[in-house]
Amino acid sequence: METLNLIKNDPWLEPYSEAINGRHQHAIDKEKELTNNGKKSLSDFATGYLYFGLHRTETGWVFREWAPNATQIFLIGTFNDWKELKKYSLKRKKDGNWEINLPLNAINHGDLYKLKIYWDGGCGERIPAWATRVVQDEQTKIFSAQVWNPAKPYKMK
């Protein structure tokens, strides 16, 4: 492996070159993972929240999650009494993406929700990775995502 300029320019770092090179390689590997080996930019990854998660559309709601190892996913919450209902089942798309489109009246501002994810050998409830608001129940201390779509949105000052 070629010596990094950082180490060449600072001989005091030489004793730590193995650790520095390891961290540098880890950063390169992580960038490749996040950018799909350069097929996307880091900016594309960083703006993933604009695509994934729960979003209001003109005709209803769209929810997307990346879960490549999932075999089935349900959107559960106060709007369906935390039950796994077929109409709240996400559909598998390509590259590990899952999606559901819901009518406007299917969920409301303030509703709590989670994902019930099934995978080979198990299942569990999860807070969506791109949740924009998460709240904690005062009694149980359990966290849930919350639909946040107030009638009068906050205006930045």
Task: In whole angstroms, give the CA distance from residue 15 to residue 113.
Answer: 51
Dihedral over alpha carbons 90, 137, 60, 84 (to 10 degrees): 30
Same domain, 102 and 34: no
39 and 78 belong to one structural domain: no
Residue 64: domain span: 49-146
The tens digit of pLDDT for each residue in 73-131 reads: 999 999 999 999 999 999 999 889 999 999 999 999 999 999 999 999 999 999 999 99
pLDDT computed for residue 156 by the predictor: 87
Domain at 117, CATH number: 2.60.40.10
Spell out the SS3 assignment of 35-46.
Answer: CCCCCCCHHHHH
Do residue 33 and residue 88 come from a single domain?
Answer: no
4, 21 in Cβ contact below 8 A?
yes
